[in-house]
Amino acid sequence: MHQHHNGLKTAALLGGMFALLLLIGALIASSTGRPVFIFGFALVGLAMTAYGYWNSDKIAIRSMRAYPVSPQQAPQLYRIVEELSARARQPMPRIFVAPTETPNAFATGRDPQHAAVCCTEGILRLLDERELRGVLGHELMHVYNRDILTSSVAAAVGGVITSVAHFLMFFGGGSRENRANPIALIAVSLLAPLAATVIQMSISRTREFDADEDGSQLTGDPLALASALSKLETGISRYPMNPEDTRLQSTAHMMIANPFRGERLANVFSTHPPTAQRIARLEQMAGGQGRSEVGFF
């Protein structure tokens, strides 16, 4: 598998989130004189991480109301996933289809032995076989790269940071003798959730670029994924998912393309890199290596 410098970037971003959490913890300790709260929030974060990671496949499939399909019901889908799994020397994942016209797909699961691939009905109608193969190669690499663990940790730590920041806002005064700098408390309370969100977005975008590259190596066809991404952007603009649906908010970051149609300001905080940038990188990859030289091994 290709080695990415982005792995170091992901580690640095996760380190930044933990550092931010420690900073908030220090403020709580100085403000309340009760460092026990820090350990409590840490335990909550660990519990949230473990639950989200262990049940990621069930949560995502349920949120999309997806249904399992057999090889007889989706022969093309099964054939592609079986071929790519065999080429990667990984177990065959379970396959689901989500009943929505929004063209999208995702793969989830804590490891290759517990993986699931889900395509929407819309993407199966929109893409040809070559493009669908490019999409599925991308999604399978999220599982093989253990991105579910990375996203689970980032989401859990981000949630703890936000909860602790709210705690500071309402209960951060503490006793008079232990009172922390009120300006610092207000600043951290307001800025910490925003910083955590930005870091989460950066981690997600980094992993998307990695999956684009690794998926293209798995399929040997980066231009197929580029073509699929172009179609998906158009298709999602016609059939976007509802951004106010809380079921979908926790699953959107797993999908190959942002399922919500947003304005430019909203796209700044998107979990997905700009489609044009992803396509340009894939075209550069194809042009630099040549399709005959692109391979997974």
On the question of pLDDT at 59 being above 60, the answer is yes
131, 139, 213, 233: the catalytic one is 139
Q: Quick one: DSSP state of residue 5?
A: T
Q: State the first-to-last Cα distance of the chain, in angstroms, to the nearest integer.
A: 7
Task: Please say if the pLDDT value at position 176 is more than 50.
Answer: no
The confidence band for 119, taking pLDDT boundaries of 50, 70 and 90, is very high
In the predicted model, what is the mean pLDDT of residues 167-182? 54
Most confident of 52-66, 164-178, 249-263: 52-66
* 96 phi and psi angles, rounded to 5 deg: -130, 160
Nearest to 297 by CA among 229, 232, 181, 219: 219
How far apart are the C-alpha atoms of 117 and 54, rounded to whole Å?
A: 16
User: Rounded mean pLDDT of the chain?
Assistant: 79
Distance CA 213, CA 225 (A): 10
Query: What tokens were used for 296?
Result: 């997974």
Predicted TM-score (pTM) of this structure: 0.77
Has residue 70 got a pLDDT over 60?
A: yes
Contacts of 163 (CB under 8 A, 6+ apart): 41, 44
Q: How far apart are CA 132 and CA 225, in angstroms?
A: 8
Which helix (H) or strand (E) element contains residue 71?
Answer: none
pLDDT at residue number 55: 76
Residues 189, 194: Cα–Cα separation, whole Å: 10
Tokens 């900073």, residue located? 23
- Output 23 or 94, whichever has higher pLDDT: 94
Residue type for position 220: G
- Catalytic annotation present for 213: no
Looking at per-residue pLDDT, the higher value among 260 and 99 belongs to 99
Backbone phi and psi for residue 156, each to the nearest 5 degrees, phi listed first: -65, -45
Instruction: State pLDDT tens for residues 124-146.
Output: 999 999 999 999 999 999 999 88
Residue 297: pLDDT above 60? no
**C-alpha–C-alpha distance, residues 98 and 118, integer Å:** 7
Q: 187-219, pLDDT tens digit by residue? A: 666 666 666 666 667 677 888 999 999 999 999
- pLDDT, tens digit (0-9, with 9 covering 90-100), for 270-295: 678 899 999 999 999 998 765 444 44
* Whole-angstrom distance, CA of residue 297 vs CA of residue 88: 9
* Residue with tokens 């991105």, as numbered in its chain: 147
